Amino acid sequence: MTHIPTTVSVPVPQGLRPRCSEATCRVVSNTPVNGEYRLLTLDAPEAILDCQPGQFFQLLCPAPEGESPFLRRPMSIYGYDKAAGRLEFLYKIAGAGTRGLATLTPGDAFNVLGPLGHGFSMPDVWQNLLLVARGVGLATLAPLARMAQDKGRKLTAICSARRPDLAMSTALFESYGAEVIVVHDEDGSSTPEALRPLIEARIARGDVDAFYTCGSSRLLRLLQELGEIHGIPGEIAMEQQMACGLGMCQACVRSFRVGERIIQRRVCREGPVFAISEAM
């Protein structure tokens, strides 16, 4: 049976475009990209493809053998193409939800809800961008590369991983004109101590107007420190366990430092992208 991608139709107030929709997509492919990650490609309706880099979808994961993921699972967007009707997620099998995702085969119907949250910003004064991310965090930042190219920005991507072959998205970053630097645990190049002079050298050359990061609290702390010393702003995409993904349930809060105060924000609604300087 062939599934046609469709969105669920509901009454909306006059003149309002729903900010997200529930849609049934069709699985185009679901294949391993290396030892740890898999790429899920969906045929998706146009209505859900007005996405911003950094936004996410809530996926209704099928039940794997012997398990029953009930809540939707939040997953950052790896790729989207409205003209082609394509939506992509890069994931690592880590629990019941992603084990369920791995069971999807081409032709399957798959229910997604999104796009959700606020994505990355790229104000005009941010001309030279330094992206530093690790592991699956690189998937979340992948759509930034196309945005940077579209806006004519210079992007450098420092891709951190346990081993060089696990550094995700490097070819994708290069295809959008980014300079790619792979650092990894095997030669020690991925430690904050090793990264610090690498980043500071670029700052000294005037090559860094803003940071983007995701996937490592050690990288966050390093960028926070360098950002404060050198007055460089930046954004981070954060994760938290979620239930609704829209803001009603208040499950996905995290703490942020705003001036002297510690406040709680919902990752799904106020995020998932936040100022690096306020993240904790």
Partner 1 sequence: MKDLFSPDLSARIGSLTLQNPIMPASGTFSEDLADVFDLDVLGAHVLKTIMHGTRAGNPTPRVCDMQSGMINAIGIPSKGIDYFRDDMLPYWAGFRSPLVVSISAHSMDEFARLCSEVSLPGVTAIEANISCPNIEADGNAFAMRPDTTHEVVTRLRAETDLPLWAKLTPNTGTPVEVAQAAEAAGADALVTANTMLGMSIDIDSRRPRLGNVMGGMSGPAIKPIALRMTYQCARACNIPVIGCGGISTLSDVLEFLIAGARAVQIGTATFQSPTVMARLITELQGWMVARGIASLDEIIGSIEAPEAGVFE
Q: x/- string (CB under 8 A) for partner 1, residues 102-121?
A: -----------x--------
Least distance (Å) between residue 81 CB and partner 1: 24
Q: What residue type is assigned to position 85 of the chain? A: G
Query: Is 244 annotated among the ligand-binding residues?
Result: yes
Q: What residue type is assigned to position 166 of the chain? A: L
187's tokens: 């030669």
Residue from the set 19, 196, 218, 230 that interacts with partner 1 by CB under 8 A? 19
Nearest CB to partner 1, comparing residues 253 and 275: 253
Least distance (Å) between residue 74 CB and partner 1: 12
Nearest-angstrom CA–CA distance, 228 and 207: 16
Terminal-to-terminal C-alpha distance of the chain:
48
Residue from the set 103, 175, 191, 264 that interacts with partner 1 by CB under 8 A? 264
Query: Is 75 annotated among the ligand-binding residues?
Result: yes
Q: How far apart, in Å, are the Cα atoms of 149 and each of 82, 153, 173, 214? A: 17, 6, 10, 20
Please give the full DSSP string across 4-60, using - where no structure is assigned.
Answer: PPEE------TTPPPS-EEEEEEEEEEEESSSSEEEEEEE--GGG----TT-EEEE-
Answer yes or no whether residue 241 interacts with partner 1 by CB under 8 A: yes
Answer yes or no whether residue 15 interacts with partner 1 by CB under 8 A: no
Answer yes or no whether residue 251 interacts with partner 1 by CB under 8 A: yes
Nearest-angstrom CA–CA distance, 102 and 95: 11
**Known binding-site positions for [2Fe-2S] cluster:** 244, 249, 252, 268
Mark the binding-site residues for FAD, compressed into ranges: 73-76, 97-98
Which positions lie near partner 1, rule CB under 8 A?
8, 10-13, 16, 18-20, 22, 60, 68-72, 96, 113, 240-254, 264, 269
